[in-house]
Structure 1
């Protein structure tokens, strides 16, 4: 994932209703949800929700498909995982973390670090 895509995704998520909608779609799974149901769950009017969903789609964070007269939105897990990977790729000093462990960055050694002198 390049930095321009990361900035676009983070920009889309930096608004409270879009973040809430994205989190709701992540919970909904591959089945997704129609825009009206998302708006209802979040207490927004449909036109406002459509605006926010369009911003998420433009950033690649959600996909949409037509199902009869409804447009169903789903989280794009590939982009979500790529974004998370980009944000955490250097969290362990450049060493990839395994899926079983949390990122636990080690403090950087400094020239005045007393542990550096112990040999």
Structure 2
């Protein structure tokens, strides 16, 4: 990512309905949600939600896929990872111990341990 892409993504998230929408879609990965379901979950009129989803899509934060008569929206986790990496890439001037608390907070989903045979 570069500065312009980052600014576009952050601007898209700098509105409460869009932020709530993005967080809802992250919670529903990898299946995503139909646009109408997103609107219902957040109690937002369908046409208003459509506008918000389009803004998030232009920022590259959500993707859509037509399934039959529904459009399914999904959070683009690769784009989220790129955004987060861009924001913290130069964290603490390379002093990993200063970034450790931040990294620990970001480790929300530790990998499952595998049983040894």
Give the alignment's Cα RMSD to 1 decimal: 1.6
Q: 2:2 is matched with which residue?
A: 2
Which of structures 1 and 2 has the bigger CA Rg? 1
Name structure 2 gaps, 5 residues minimum: 104-117
Structure in which a larger fraction of residues adopt helix: 2
Q: How does 1:72-91 map to 2 (within 5 A)?
A: 72-91=72-91
| Residue 96 (structure 1) shift | 6.1
| Residue 56 (structure 1) shift | 0.2
Q: Note the alpha carbon deviations across 1:4-57, whole angstroms, 9 max, x for none.
A: 100000010001100000000000001000010001010100000000000000
Name structure 1 gaps, 5 residues minimum: 105-119
Measured in 2, the distance between the counterparts of 1:78 and 1:66 equals: 20
TM-score (norm 1): 0.80
TM-score (norm 2): 0.81
| Residue 102 (structure 1) shift | 2.9
Structure 1 runs (4+) greater than 6 angstroms displaced: none
